[in-house]
Amino acid sequence: MRSFNNRGPRRPFSTRKFNNRPPRRGGNGQIGQYINPARFINKAVSVEESAEFIPQHKFQNFNIDPALKSNILNKGYKLPTPIQDKAIPHLLNGEDIVGIADTGTGKTAAFLVPLINKILLNRSEKVLIVVPTRELAIQIDFELKSLTKALQVYSVYCVGGMSIGRQISELRSRHNFVIGTPGRLKDLIARKNIFLSEFKTIVLDEADRMLDMGFINDIRLIMAGLPKTRHTLFFSATLSREIEGMIYEFLREPVRISLKTRDTSQNVEQNVVKVEKGTNKLEVLRGLLNRKEFNKVLVFGRTKHGVEKLSRTLVQIGFRADSIHGNKNHSGRQRALTAFKNNRVQVLVATDVAARGLDIPNVSHVINFDLPNTYEDYIHRIGRTGRGDQRGTALTFID
């Protein structure tokens, strides 16, 4: 692919002029990590080049409840993905685990299947799942409910931006799983609506985000309240060296499963779009979105205000677009997400709130309209396309 602006094709991108630049300033005054633009260029691996994965197990061969197996098969899951194939046996044995795998490879079912089975074996067990965003919490709850049909396994999701009163009421009812974001969980713990001593199993999904400096104090508080003898699971697509050093603060002799063969998904064709000085960035985006193949596009911006403004501008110039960001209320975010999932809008403009763990089917393109603050954020952004065995394209705007 070549770079484009509103005046048509230009020469291929060169990285030489970008060397040795100082750190850039990101949204909210944060200093963003300098990322060499060459890291935004990566060819997808063709099907012929990819070795076919042959699982060691089948779902019907796992030592799990027959009714759970039936629900798995009814969802169309025939063979486990690599992370499921490797992780489920260890989790069924009660071992702590650190699971690192590309986005879109089935990490959620990798921990839900053995944990649902744990509940079926002992109805008094409780599981706490901690995630960075409300959208991810709701998505996991939806997946859990689809796997537990007619099994009388119950869950509550506890997230900010929604009525805490309703969540308190649901916590008073019978439940086996609590899925929540750190801030709301901390609130409910302080109000004595959640008693951490009852939870012998905890999952940190998107663990690298959960252990960064924004959440680490809340996570330490939660971990300190759990029983010392517990089952701890960390799952993520990325794990920085700093965060890796914290793993042994929370886990007991963990099994480490890493199935990443490269930084980013091999199914995603990555390239840059060079925006020449004096060129209107919006016009470059407009030109791309008018192309037939750009049929379901996730556009990432850095700030809430910028994302909302871009979304409204796209609507004004004739695109079916919506936005998702932290200033939007819960119902508005869910409406936008549902419309995008169901192809009622072509373009969803988002902050990094949509980059973590969300499973949105058939995203054709991810466009980084604004540069990510870190390379890890970039990995999670582009992981919204090329999920499973599908192909996708990621483009990053470079000034």
The pLDDT of residue 14 is above 80:
no
Residue with the larger pLDDT of the pair 18 and 164: 164
Residue 25 has a pLDDT of 46
Residue 298 has a pLDDT of 97
Q: Which of 14-18, 211-215, 387-391 has the lowest mean pLDDT?
A: 14-18
Token pair of 265 as six digits = 């998904």
Residue with the larger pLDDT of the pair 365 and 38: 365
Distance of CA 7 to the CA centre of its chain: 35
Residue 9 has a pLDDT of 38
As a whole number, mean pLDDT of residues 292-298 equals 97
Residue with the larger pLDDT of the pair 240 and 335: 335
As a whole number, mean pLDDT of residues 8-15 equals 35
As a whole number, mean pLDDT of residues 37-43 equals 88
Residue 6 has a pLDDT of 38
The pLDDT of residue 49 is above 80:
no
Residue with the larger pLDDT of the pair 2 and 147: 147
What's the maximum distance between 2 C-alpha atoms anywhere in the chain?
65
In which residue are the tokens 């900010």 written?
160
Residue 13 has a pLDDT of 33
Q: Return the percentage of the chain with pLDDT > 90, whole number.
A: 64
Q: pLDDT tens digits for 323-371?
A: 999 899 888 988 999 999 999 999 999 998 777 767 788 999 999 999 9
- Cα–Cα distances in angstroms (integers) from residue 265 to residues 37, 298, 336, 362, 368, in the given order: 17, 17, 26, 15, 16
Query: Is 38 buried (19+), middle (13-18) or exposed (0-12) by CB count in 10 A?
Result: middle
Q: pLDDT tens digits for 135-165?
A: 899 999 999 999 999 999 999 999 998 999 9
Q: Which of 21-30, 94-103, 163-172, 191-200 has the lowest mean pLDDT?
A: 21-30
As a whole number, mean pLDDT of residues 9-37 equals 49
The pLDDT of residue 23 is above 60:
no
CB 23 within 8 A of CB 30: no
Q: pLDDT tens digits for 186-229?
A: 999 999 999 999 999 999 998 887 777 578 899 999 999 999 99
Distance CA 118, CA 127 (A): 9
Residue with the larger pLDDT of the pair 352 and 285: 285
Strands 255-258 and 24-25 come out as unpaired
CB 99 within 8 A of CB 234: yes
Residue 297 has a pLDDT of 98
Residue with the larger pLDDT of the pair 94 and 52: 94
Residue 21 has a pLDDT of 45
CB 130 within 8 A of CB 203: yes
The pLDDT of residue 289 is above 80:
yes
Distance CA 122, CA 112 (A): 15
Phi, psi (deg, nearest 5) at residue 367: -120, 120
Distance CA 298, CA 300 (A): 7
Q: Which of 232-246, 285-299, 371-385 has the lowest mean pLDDT?
A: 232-246
Distance CA 397, CA 225 (A): 45
The pLDDT of residue 19 is above 80:
no
Structural domains in the chain, sorted by start: 4-48+266-398 (3.40.50.300), 59-258 (3.40.50.300)
Q: Mean pLDDT in the chain? A: 87
Q: pLDDT tens digits for 73-95?
A: 999 888 999 999 999 999 999 99
Distance of CA 143 to the CA centre of its chain: 14
In which residue are the tokens 């439940």 written?
175
Q: Which of 103-112, 173-182, 261-270, 369-378 has the highest mean pLDDT?
A: 173-182
Residue 225 has a pLDDT of 97
- Cα–Cα distances in angstroms (integers) from residue 28 to residues 31, 191, 302, 305, 327, in the given order: 9, 31, 9, 11, 14
Token pair of 57 as six digits = 């197990």
